[in-house]
């Protein structure tokens, strides 16, 4: 009986040891997992950044001297922002993917390529962006051309046809089919018009402005000559704008002694002027608080092609546009950019 008990005890102990070894090996395998990697040629960036759409999760992957990065992403099936320097694209990632990304930073979107499990889904989203870019190239400034509506409809139908082939992952297919099924073609036309406007502003001198300052008098863009200027175009009624305020306050505090001015430009209507002043005072909003003279129809707002807010703009000390649609305060990439410019 004692001998039998000894063997039973050892048998149980062996099972426990085996289970522990399996757990350890599984943990090691997860820690050692590399399912997100690639090579970015001709980049001056020292890392690539992956950020959840909500901005609550982010991770940087260091680039070595040859532009190679590698690591693990296990955040479930979802869309993520992928940023290299000033370039940003949307990725679809799933835990089962083993994605390899290659691109040339000097010609990012045209050279961007995906391989491995997950490549089909991401190449499809890349195709959507390239299709929109091609339309913008075709129409240049003629965004009201009669053919644009038909071209947009044809483009959207071609996307839907790919999804009907069922070649992509089920979860991606369902989500993307719903999104494409409800594409607002007028909204897409506005998006193209905005993209065309932003292209024309790249590395150009910024349009100027002179607007009412919350503290009294007026303030002009030329008043900030010699400083970087980060402009937040917002309104009191805009929920997403208000969500950015705590993040903006954090960024303002971090860079308060640096060579940068933070300007918040409200495009509230004249009828809401007092509401704007009350909110700035009540919430102790920092930085330079301005209000546009004609809300959406302000010449500065129209010059930047702004059709949706919040919108963030970065201008250099010489008045040249660094980015007409720069990262939001909630996006970690913004601080990486500012650290580089303000070092």
- What CATH number does the domain containing 54 carry? 2.60.40.1120
8: in domain: no
Count of structural domains within the chain? 3
Question: What is the model's pLDDT at position 12?
Answer: 52
Pair (129, 151) in one structural domain: yes
Cβ–Cβ < 8 Å for 290, 229:
no
Cβ–Cβ < 8 Å for 262, 252:
yes
Euclidean distance between CA atoms 322 and 314, whole angstroms: 5
Which residue has tokens 């099936």? 77
Pair (156, 93) in one structural domain: no
239: in domain: yes
Q: Give me the tens of pLDDT residue by residue for the chain, a chain 343 residues long.
A: 444 443 344 555 454 544 444 444 444 444 567 889 999 999 988 889 998 887 778 899 999 999 999 999 998 888 999 999 878 899 999 999 999 999 999 899 899 999 999 999 999 999 988 898 888 787 765 455 567 778 888 888 888 888 887 788 888 888 787 677 666 677 777 777 777 777 778 788 999 999 999 999 999 999 999 999 999 999 999 988 999 999 999 999 999 999 999 999 999 999 999 999 999 999 999 999 999 999 999 999 988 988 889 999 999 999 999 999 999 998 888 998 999 999 8
- What CATH number does the domain containing 252 carry? 3.40.30.10
Pair (232, 323) in one structural domain: yes
Question: What is the model's pLDDT at position 32?
Answer: 65
Pair (136, 258) in one structural domain: no
26: in domain: no
Cβ–Cβ < 8 Å for 211, 265:
yes
Among 45, 75, 107, where does a domain finish? 107
103: in domain: yes
Question: What is the model's pLDDT at position 156?
Answer: 86
14: in domain: no
Nearest to 86 by CA among 333, 296, 297: 333
Question: What is the model's pLDDT at position 143?
Answer: 52
150: in domain: yes
13: in domain: no
Among 201, 225, 248, where does a domain finish? 201
Which residue has tokens 């917002």? 234
Euclidean distance between CA atoms 199 and 107, whole angstroms: 15
In 90-238, alpha helices (H): 108-111, 119-139, 146-164, 170-181, 185-201
The whole-angstrom distance between residue 158's C-alpha and the CA centroid of its chain comes to: 25
Q: How far separated are the first and last CA of the chain, in Å rounded? A: 77
Pair (185, 214) in one structural domain: no
Among 46, 80, 107, where does a domain finish? 107
**Structural domain range at position 303:** 210-341
Pair (215, 328) in one structural domain: yes
70: in domain: yes
Pair (320, 234) in one structural domain: yes
Both tokens assigned to 160:
């839907």
Cβ–Cβ < 8 Å for 228, 315:
yes
Euclidean distance between CA atoms 140 and 225, whole angstroms: 32
Cβ–Cβ < 8 Å for 205, 128:
no
pTM over 0.85: no
Cβ–Cβ < 8 Å for 258, 342:
yes
Pair (188, 250) in one structural domain: no
């Amino acid at each position: 009986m004692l001998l039998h008990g000894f063997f039973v005890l050892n048998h149980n102990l062996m099972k426990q040891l085996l289970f522990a070894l399996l757990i350890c090996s599984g943990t090691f395998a997860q820690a050692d997992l590399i399912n997100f990697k690639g090579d970015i040629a001709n980049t001056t960036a020292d890392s690539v950044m992956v950020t959840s759409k909500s901005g609550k999760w982010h991770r940087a992957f260091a680039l070595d001297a040859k532009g190679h990065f590698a690591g693990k992403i296990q955040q479930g099936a979802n869309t993520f922002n992928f940023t290299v320097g000033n370039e940003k694209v949307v990725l679809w990632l799933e835990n089962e993917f083993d994605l390899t990304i290659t691109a040339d930073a000097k010609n990012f979107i045209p050279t961007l390529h995906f391989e491995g499990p997950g490549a089909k889904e991401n190449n499809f989203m890349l195709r959507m962006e390239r299709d929109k870019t091609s339309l913008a190239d075709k129409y240049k400034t003629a965004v009201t051309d009669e053919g644009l509506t038909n071209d947009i409809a044809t483009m959207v139908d071609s996307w839907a046809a790919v999804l009907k082939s069922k070649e992509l992952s089920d979860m991606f297919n369902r989500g993307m089919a719903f999104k494409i099924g409800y594409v607002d073609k007028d909204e897409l036309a506005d998006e193209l018009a905005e993209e065309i406007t932003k292209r024309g502003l790249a590395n150009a001198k910024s349009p100027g402005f002179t607007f009412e300052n919350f503290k009294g008098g007026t303030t002009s863009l030329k008043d900030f000559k010699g400083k970087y200027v980060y402009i937040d175009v917002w309104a009191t009624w805009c929920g997403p704008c208000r969500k950015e305020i705590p993040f903006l306050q954090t960024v303002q505090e971090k860079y308060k002694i640096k060579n940068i001015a933070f300007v918040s430009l409200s495009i509230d209507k004249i009828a809401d002027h007092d509401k704007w002043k009350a909110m700035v005072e009540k919430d102790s909003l920092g930085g330079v608080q301005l209000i546009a003279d004609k809300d959406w129809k302000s010449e500065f707002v129209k010059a930047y092609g702004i059709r949706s807010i919040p919108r963030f703009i970065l201008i250099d000390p010489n008045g040249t546009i660094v980015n007409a649609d720069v990262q939001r305060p909630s996006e970690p990439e913004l601080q990486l950019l500012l650290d580089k410019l303000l070092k």
